[in-house]
């Protein structure tokens, strides 16, 4: 699945089957379900999982928690806006599916 197909899937009521947890989390986040998104990556100890986890805490407004997860993921605040960060995560993650 490429990023265009991923974005198109947002019209559905459920994420497409077979998505990695990181992309499923971003899908639920885009649908407005932060709690579902967070539940998918809360204990995902991969670099990608921690990057999505960091983004979600940044979106939640918990900068201290986001900073913790960014450091664990090896990332800083690379995008000036949450939308730009979401786009960059989706583009990077769909390129690996």
Entry pTM: 0.93
25-66: per-residue pLDDT in tens? 999 999 999 999 999 999 999 999 999 999 999 999 998 999
Nearest-angstrom CA–CA distance, 56 and 96: 21
Which pLDDT value is given to residue 12? 97
The confidence band for 69, taking pLDDT boundaries of 50, 70 and 90, is very high
Which pLDDT value is given to residue 75? 73
The confidence band for 96, taking pLDDT boundaries of 50, 70 and 90, is confident
Query: Per-residue pLDDT for 78 more than 80?
Result: no
Mean pLDDT of the chain: 92
Q: Are 56 and 40 in contact (CB under 8 A)?
A: no
- Domain range list for the chain: 3-94
Q: Are 87 and 26 in contact (CB under 8 A)?
A: no
């Amino acid at each position: 699945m490429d990023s265009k197909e991923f974005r198109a899937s947002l019209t559905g009521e459920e994420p497409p089957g077979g998505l990695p947890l990181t992309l499923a989390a971003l899908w639920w986040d885009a649908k407005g379900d932060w709690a579902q998104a967070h539940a998918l990556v809360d204990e995902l100890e991969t670099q990608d999982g921690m990057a999505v986890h960091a983004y979600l805490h940044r979106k939640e407004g918990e900068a201290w928690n986001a900073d913790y997860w960014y450091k664990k993921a090896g990332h800083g605040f690379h995008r000036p806006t949450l939308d730009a960060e979401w786009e960059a995560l989706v583009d990077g993650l769909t390129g690996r599916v």
